[in-house]
Amino acid sequence: MPYRRFTIETMKSRLEQARLAGFIYQHGSTVLALQQALNEDGSALNNFAQHGLSSDQIGLQFGLHLADGQWRFMLGVTHSNQDRGLEIGAGHLKGEQRAFNLLYAFYNCPKGFYSVSMPLMANASELEDAIAQQLFHIPELAFLHSALKISPAGQPAQWIKAFILQQALGMKVRMQSALL
């Protein structure tokens, strides 16, 4: 793909032209994080979900990371709930996670931040596998398995997990399209 040789400045310019976000934050020379992600029509993208039976919430953020000459799609996930005993500060984020710390401003008491990384060229199946391997097995996020909704056919569906996968795939495809 032609964007393998894109500099961070070129990548940022292309993403800004595509209007994927209200602002694209550049963290150092390797990370671009979308702040205030937008839908294709320019409206605010819903990047939050809350479990119906608990106070657990997640917030999603998207970005790109240049590592070893390869562009990688990044998904940042903030977890929050009302247990103040586990509260952490944004200053505890390390490395590329610091690029995503602006999402913390939306939470009263964040408990954790997790990032998922995969090649920008990953297909839908590879994206799903990366998210499942890097996110869905984290013990602190076990509430994702019990966030169920019943489909019209009467089948239970893990809706927050499906929401994460749908939003991540949609934004990754939009980023790829903006770079063509």
The rounded distance, in Å, linking the Cα atoms of 101 and 116 is: 15
Q: Is 86 helix (H, G, I), strand (E, B) or coil?
A: helix
Read off the pTM.
0.83
Split at pLDDT 50, 70, 90, the class of 104 is very low
The rounded distance, in Å, linking the Cα atoms of 161 and 51 is: 11
Two tokens at 3? 């964007």
The Cβ of residue 16 has, within 10 Å, a number of other Cβ atoms equal to 14
Q: Does pLDDT of 102 surpass 50?
A: no
Percent of the chain with pLDDT over 90: 34
Q: Position of tokens 């939009």? A: 174
Q: How many CA atoms lie within 13 A of 91 on its CB side?
A: 0
Two tokens at 13? 């310019």
Split at pLDDT 50, 70, 90, the class of 126 is very high
